[in-house]
Structure 1
Amino acid sequence: MSVLPRPTAVLCALAAAALLPPTAPARAATTLAFGACPDSVPRPPAPDRVECGRLSVPLDRHHPSGPHIEIAVSRVPASGTPAERRGILLVNPGGPGGSGLPYAVTKRAKLPASVRRSYDVIGFDPRGVGGSAPVDCGAMGGLFAAPGADPVPVDPRSERAYLTAQRHMADDCAAGAGTEALPYLSTEQTAYDMDAIRAALGEPRTGFLGVSYGSYLGAAYAARFPHRVGRMVLDSVVGPWDWHDFDMIQSRALLRARNTFFGWTAAHPDRFGLGADTAAVRRSYLRVRQGLAARPLNGFGPAEFDRAVYRALGRTERWTSLADGLRGYLTDATVDGLRPPSAFDGPESRNYEAANRIVKCADGPGPTPREIVTDVRRIRRLDPQPLLTGLEATTCAYWRHRPDHRTPLGGPATPPVLLVASAHDPVTPIRGAHELRKLLPGSRLVTLENDHSHGVFASRGNTCVDGTVAAYLVDGVVPAGDVRCGGAGLPGPQPFSPSGV
């Protein structure tokens, strides 16, 4: 039995069922009543337990007597003694669009034992996601078509088609989510929801662990509630830029990561058979993409290929599967090894993609169509075959609601924050951590050197990183200066598996 049924319609015009009527608004709950969790939330091993509840919050924090939505919350209580307890640790897995409800269980299982003993780990689905009035953008301008159109425009005609798809995506989101609701699905409003969770749990401060987009959310919380910040860890940091600018910075980092992947693959020619030098592996890669562009296989074309590469480049442990998938296409004309393990067009993925665009476009002014074309041409001058999968804020050029301000991040009143970054992370390049720390005086940066993956703390198995962060979370130990931890470097290739990914 689930106590967190998903709303049947979406916010404002998003979801009449999830919203409490504006004519008789209910006040946000001052406490959270916990019970059973939905099946989507895994159960931790005994004696730990997970429990779930719902919290009513205003759709617009500046109009608390207006419509309300409900936020889905999960909790895994601290396993230590009362004397060891340090409070609550809210966690966010990234996105925008990532579901945090199960993350309280899955991330907690990877945390150092001292952290598990010290904190109630609190997960929550941000507004518009999962169990919190989920949004739906329908066809999203053809994003879920299989095979999708080639996502890399190469001439004026394809550039116009690219912009038309972004306009249609914006129209689909306005129709699915409701134009009136779009301004309130922002990171800033979610930061207010975080503080409502804190208050409902009766805690004076919020501990927080945010990964990827979660770092941006944490910085937004610090901007609004610096006096409520406990110990905050921002891992794989998103820089304090407009979202389109961040997407372009990421696209350049992905080109560097892909070249590193080509070199790594070339170092193992007998294992992969894609070439003995970087240029040869690149030619093999382009043969695969060009072949799929000319003749998609089983709904798998250039758009699906680029998404698979984008996903694989973010974690070096996926590189073997990507190289095997390239070889599988070239030798056996199959794309089975390139397909991600989960279907892209499932309901959770559709909600993720919708929430991702809606939140980004609610966070600040978007680019103009001319800026988009200029930036795409610029990245193509760096490499004729770039990865544009992460250019998600391009939709904001045609958004129905144009925000009049950017989401504020950080501030001088924020207590010391710990930033964590991988030196060569292509998804959130380390440049973002250096820029964000300027807005967080007294913060420290923990860098995992010689590492090329996204997600560091309680993820890469590095004792230096994990020990430094655990000491900060449990005992409040702020390093005297920045910390550099030695990484393991690129892994060796995994044994060949004919089943692919």
Structure 2
Amino acid sequence: MTRPARHTALVCALAAATALLPAAPVQAAEPPSPLRFTSCSGSVPRPAAPERVECGRLSVPLDWHRPSGPRIEVAVSRVRASGTPAERRGILLVNPGGPGGSGLPYAVTKRAKLPESVRRAYDVVGFDPRGVGRSTPVTCGPMGGLFDSPGNDPVPAGARAERAYLASLRALADDCATHAGRLLPYLSTEQTAYDMEAIRAALGEPRTSFLGVSYGSYLGAAYTARFPHRVGRMVLDSVVGPGDWYDFDVLQSRALLRQRDTFFAWTAAHAGRFGLGGTPAAVRDSYLRVRRELAARPVAGFGPAEFDRAVYRALGRTERWAGLADGLRGQLTDGDPDGLRPDGAFDSADSRNYEAANRVVKCADGPAPSPRDILADIRSTRRLDPQPVLTGMEASACAYWHHRPGRRTPLGSPDAPPVLLVASAHDPVTPIEGARRLQPLLPGSRLVTLDDDYSHGVFASRGDACVDDTVAAYLVRGEVPSGNVRCAGPGLPTAR
């Protein structure tokens, strides 16, 4: 069986097996104290007046399987429902993704985009998952040179480069073991799901309604596995799906190849605007020329690793495509890659925490690949395209991890109420296959698909009335569609 076929078989088998995994026993913990909110620091944006954001901290066990042991704190934010008491439907816990995304400000930024009926009905509650932001942040130090500028070429070609690639993964794992210390085994998605339940209890709410995007969908599915009878109304947007994190990363890398080909064709169709060539092949040649130039002569710390990170970020949202094409042209015509640089420094404190938490969570959630698998998959991907984008292959470091979890994170439950899954038909970051594979683990769930769309993040993000109205009706009135829903998408953007 080929490696891609093994991926498919493994993920499908896991989808059936995950629901059967027994729940690990958790000893009774002391009931959490009520959350007391005060004003937030300046890092949390303020909502529109007259509403305000409040922040609090909750003490939870480091290890929920040993609740009398050491404790950590989880930072929580809240913007109260703006409607009348009769309109209120409870709390809507939100997570922006990652793993590693900070949810503390997300309660404000995402809430501002929600339909008004949802804002009137729910207290929107954000939190930094354990290990992230202001919730006992984890660090992995230099992470095997990940923050070197310019970084090494992230796509190894040849035996010598492959050995260096594996050595960098080992160094990253060693750095995480050295700097994360006692936190390493306990920053898993399952432990965070218990933190979510503690937030619900501390707020005195009978149910947790939840909106999770990207990794947030995985976190929501983990919560349903442990606390199905505490689930209120749950929306999982841009679904990761069941399976090992490494297999997900491989599937994503293949989807990025398809998305990049679509970007090449789109750019060629606007040749007069971008000047990168009038055919997809010509645009591809321009793209490869830029990458070769930066690999040979990095400019102000911007080399092939930085280039691939910029491409990875841009491919996930079509509104960034024009900026990517303009940046390619700027390097070709002026030797200036500044147009390709994303906003914000990659080696900032927040970015370092994100990258560390991302690996630590992924490696705490389930089995690791072998070095042989990693090289086989890279070679297989390079046979599809000699110059892939491997930026999202974070779980490769798990091959050398110092703490190996004994089992996979359980996802989904037949006892949970109907859940709404939302997906973009051509999302390259969380391919729609993830939603289709998770749906059987959540009986009664419905899949809302935005057709002819190529971006990551859909509900209250793409501005689609069909999606937003369907999800709002579910959240506010509990209306579950009679079947899966397909919404007509926007297609590719116009070039401005």
**Partners in 2 of 1:482 and 1:449 — Cα distance?**
13
* Partner amino acid, structure 1, of 2:360: I
The structure with the greater share of residues assigned to helix is 2
Question: The residue matched to 2:339 in structure 1 has which SS?
Answer: coil
Kept after mapping to 2: 8 A contact 1:206/1:228: yes
Task: Kindly state the Cα deviation for residue 28 of structure 1 after the two structures are TM-superposed.
Answer: 6.2
Task: Kindly state the Cα deviation for residue 436 of structure 1 after the two structures are TM-superposed.
Answer: 0.5
Question: The residue matched to 1:438 in structure 2 has which SS?
Answer: helix
* Partner amino acid, structure 2, of 1:241: G
Equivalences for 1:265-344 in 2 at 5 Å?
265-344=267-346
Matched with 1:155 is 158
Matched with 1:252 is 254
Question: The residue matched to 2:253 in structure 1 has which SS?
Answer: helix
Kept after mapping to 1: 8 A contact 2:448/2:485: yes
Question: The residue matched to 1:151 in structure 2 has which SS?
Answer: coil
Equivalences for 1:22-171 in 2 at 5 Å?
29-171=32-174
Question: The residue matched to 2:129 in structure 1 has which SS?
Answer: coil
Matched with 2:375 is 373
**Partners in 2 of 1:389 and 1:120 — Cα distance?**
36
**How many pairs are equivalent?**
468
CA deviations over 1:111-147 (Å, ceiling 9, x no partner): 0000000000000000000000000101000000000
**Partners in 2 of 1:306 and 1:57 — Cα distance?**
38
Matched with 2:397 is 395
Structure 2 residue 387 is matched with structure 1 residue 385: yes
Question: The residue matched to 1:231 in structure 2 has which SS?
Answer: strand
**Partners in 1 of 2:413 and 2:378 — Cα distance?**
33
**TM-score, normalised relative to structure 1:** 0.93
Matched with 2:424 is 422
**Partners in 2 of 1:28 and 1:299 — Cα distance?**
51
**Partners in 2 of 1:490 and 1:182 — Cα distance?**
42
**Partners in 2 of 1:349 and 1:27 — Cα distance?**
35
**Partners in 2 of 1:326 and 1:239 — Cα distance?**
33
CA deviations over 1:145-187 (Å, ceiling 9, x no partner): 0000000001111001000000000010111110x32111000
Matched with 1:220 is 222
Question: The residue matched to 1:56 in structure 2 has which SS?
Answer: strand
CA deviations over 1:385-431 (Å, ceiling 9, x no partner): 00000000000000000111000000111110000000000000000
CA deviations over 1:366-400 (Å, ceiling 9, x no partner): 10111101111110010000000000000000000
Matched with 2:410 is 408
Matched with 1:12 is none
Question: The residue matched to 2:338 in structure 1 has which SS?
Answer: coil
Matched with 2:453 is 451
Kept after mapping to 1: 8 A contact 2:256/2:389: yes
CA deviations over 1:5-39 (Å, ceiling 9, x no partner): xxxxxxxxxxxxxxxxxxxxx95632000001111
**Partners in 2 of 1:448 and 1:96 — Cα distance?**
24
Question: The residue matched to 1:100 in structure 2 has which SS?
Answer: coil
* Partner amino acid, structure 2, of 1:42: P
Question: The residue matched to 2:94 in structure 1 has which SS?
Answer: strand
**Partners in 1 of 2:53 and 2:256 — Cα distance?**
37
Kept after mapping to 1: 8 A contact 2:57/2:73: yes
Kept after mapping to 2: 8 A contact 1:457/1:466: yes
Equivalences for 1:470-489 in 2 at 5 Å?
470-489=472-491
Question: The residue matched to 2:441 in structure 1 has which SS?
Answer: coil
| Structure 1 stretches lacking a partner, 5+ long | 1-25, 495-501
Kept after mapping to 2: 8 A contact 1:229/1:415: yes
Structure 2 residue 439 is matched with structure 1 residue 437: yes
* Partner amino acid, structure 2, of 1:86: R
* Partner amino acid, structure 1, of 2:421: L
Post-superposition, which runs of at least 4 consecutive aligned residues in structure 1 deviate over 4 A?
none
CA deviations over 1:218-251 (Å, ceiling 9, x no partner): 0000000000000000000001010000000000
Kept after mapping to 2: 8 A contact 1:420/1:456: yes
Kept after mapping to 2: 8 A contact 1:422/1:452: yes
CA deviations over 1:172-205 (Å, ceiling 9, x no partner): 0111110x32111000000000000000000010
**Partners in 2 of 1:46 and 1:414 — Cα distance?**
37
Tell which deviates more after alignment, 485-494 or 116-125: 485-494
**Partners in 2 of 1:401 and 1:341 — Cα distance?**
34
Kept after mapping to 2: 8 A contact 1:28/1:58: no
**Percent identical residues:** 76
**Partners in 2 of 1:390 and 1:28 — Cα distance?**
39
* Partner amino acid, structure 1, of 2:230: R
**Partners in 2 of 1:41 and 1:181 — Cα distance?**
25
Structure 2 residue 216 is matched with structure 1 residue 203: no
**Partners in 2 of 1:103 and 1:181 — Cα distance?**
24
* Partner amino acid, structure 1, of 2:373: E
* Partner amino acid, structure 2, of 1:460: R
* Partner amino acid, structure 1, of 2:389: L
Kept after mapping to 2: 8 A contact 1:136/1:176: yes
**Partners in 2 of 1:428 and 1:232 — Cα distance?**
18
**TM-score, normalised relative to structure 2:** 0.94
Kept after mapping to 2: 8 A contact 1:28/1:55: no
Tell which deviates more after alignment, 180-189 or 163-172: 180-189
Kept after mapping to 1: 8 A contact 2:99/2:361: yes
Task: Kindly state the Cα deviation for residue 75 of structure 1 after the two structures are TM-superposed.
Answer: 0.2
**Partners in 2 of 1:30 and 1:218 — Cα distance?**
24
* Partner amino acid, structure 2, of 1:424: H
Matched with 2:360 is 358
* Partner amino acid, structure 2, of 1:405: R
**Partners in 2 of 1:239 and 1:218 — Cα distance?**
11
